[in-house]
């Protein structure tokens, strides 16, 4: 797909996302707001006056949420995902203007930029996955603070970031030849199978980010991170499998 096609797809995704966000804005928070807030007041009374357990109050809160929720936040999350992927498609069009240009590259600044952007998107998406439900009042007011999941996300990124960067950038140090095509498959070569096996786990992790975590709070950042990291891992594999020079 050429530069024009990528820009068209980017624009369509942004338009779809904008439409979904407009639909979300027009959708009420609850199917019956009066009944919802009456139920919430009853839960508060049972918790603070009747002294039921926090677990029982939380179970009642989430049951109330399920009973009266609308598709508002589902539309919003899908809208954010569409806009985010539209922006990513636009950036791809800018950095790959030639239709004939290969998808794999050994330009270090492209690899470092895409991988770093993927890691930042993942971190921001994990933050949003914690904070957005709180802003949407989908978390009970007596629940634990956001400090624990934010600390867990930060700890994970501190460990994950250098590992991902090593996987993405290591072949630039050892391989000086132009990379193989991005989608190179095995031809019986043991080297192909060994390299593919090494990159199987990070590729699987990237695909999980794209598919399993896209439809939810923070999915706009997490899914884009999965796409960028999937490309970085495939590109690194293509670098390791660079064909010998004639």
Residue 92: inside a domain, yes or no? no
Is 4 inside a domain boundary?
no
- Would 12 be classed as within a structural domain? no
For residue 135, being part of any structural domain is answered with yes
User: pLDDT tens for residues 38-77?
Assistant: 999 999 998 888 788 888 999 999 999 999 999 999 999 9
Contacts of 54 (CB under 8 A, 6+ apart): 47, 142
- Whether 60 is covered by a domain: the verdict is no
**CB hemisphere CA count around 119 (13 angstroms):** 21
User: What's the rounded mean pLDDT across residues 194-210?
Assistant: 91
How many domains is the chain built from? 1
pLDDT digits (tens, 9 = 90+) for 148-168: 888 888 999 999 999 999 999
- pLDDT of res. 97: 58
Using DSSP's 3-state secondary structure scheme, residue 215 falls into: coil
More confident residue, 99 or 139: 139
Q: Which domain holds residue 128?
A: 102-246
Q: For residue 103, what are its two tokens?
A: 């998808």
Q: Closest by alpha carbon to 128, among 223, 64, 210?
A: 223
Residue 216 lies in a domain: yes
E strand intervals along 141-183: none
| Tens digits of residue pLDDT in 77-103 | 999 999 999 999 988 888 775 665 678
Using alpha carbons, list the distances in angstroms from residue 197 to 33, 61, 194, 237: 53, 46, 5, 10
């Amino acid at each position: 797909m050429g530069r024009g096609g990528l820009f068209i797809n980017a624009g369509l995704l942004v338009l779809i996302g904008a439409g979904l966000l407009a639909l979300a804005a027009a959708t009420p928070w609850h199917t019956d707001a009066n009944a919802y807030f009456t139920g919430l007041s009853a839960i508060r009374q049972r918790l603070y006056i009747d002294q039921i357990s926090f677990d029982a109050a939380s179970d009642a809160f989430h049951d109330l949420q399920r009973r009266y929720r609308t598709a508002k936040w589902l539309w919003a999350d899908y809208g954010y995902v569409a806009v985010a992927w539209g922006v990513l498609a636009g950036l791809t069009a800018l950095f790959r203007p030639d239709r004939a240009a290969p998808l794999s590259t050994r330009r270090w600044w492209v690899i470092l930029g895409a991988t770093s952007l993927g890691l930042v998107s993942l971190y921001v998406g994990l933050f949003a996955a914690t904070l957005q439900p709180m802003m949407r009042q989908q978390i009970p007011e007596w629940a634990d603070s956001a400090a624990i999941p934010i600390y867990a996300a930060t700890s994970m990124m501190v460990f994950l970031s250098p590992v991902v960067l090593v996987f993405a950038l290591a072949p630039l140090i050892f391989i000086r030849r132009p990379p193989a095509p991005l989608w190179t498959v095995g031809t019986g070569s043991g080297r192909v199978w060994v390299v593919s096996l090494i990159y199987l786990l990070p590729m699987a992790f990237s695909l999980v980010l794209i598919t399993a975590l896209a439809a939810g709070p923070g999915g706009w950042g997490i899914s884009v991170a999965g796409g960028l990291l999937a490309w970085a891992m495939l590109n690194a594999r293509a670098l390791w499998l660079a064909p010998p020079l004639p």
